[in-house]
């Protein structure tokens, strides 16, 4: 999966970027919860991640990218 321009997601009122939080969940936990009443866990496997973003030092760069 190629993720283009990871610097785009807007920082919300809680100081997070929801798209990046979802990406972090997918990479670290290898899955996500389904969007239904049961909230079943869905594993995501056998995926290579490649990402691009603007130069460092901007407002959007967060330490959680390095985790």
Q: pLDDT for 41-63, tens place per residue?
A: 999 888 888 888 776 655 555 56
Please state, in angstroms and rounded to a whole number, the distance separating the CA atoms of residues 58 and 40: 37
DSSP 54: -
Residue spans per domain, the chain: 2-56
Q: Are 12 and 60 in contact (CB under 8 A)?
A: no
Angle made by CA atoms 63, 5, 55, in degrees to the nearest 5: 60
DSSP 56: S
pLDDT digits (tens, 9 = 90+) for 15-39: 888 888 888 888 899 999 998 888 9
**What is the token pair recorded at 36?**
């239904």
Whole-model pTM?
A: 0.60
């Amino acid at each position: 999966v190629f993720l283009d321009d990871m610097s785009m997601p807007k920082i919300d009122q809680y100081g997070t970027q929801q798209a990046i939080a979802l990406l972090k969940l997918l990479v670290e936990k290898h899955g996500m919860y389904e969007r239904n009443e049961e909230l079943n866990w869905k594993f995501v496997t056998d995926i290579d991640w490649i990402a691009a973003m603007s130069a460092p030092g901007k407002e959007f760069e967060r330490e959680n990218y390095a985790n």
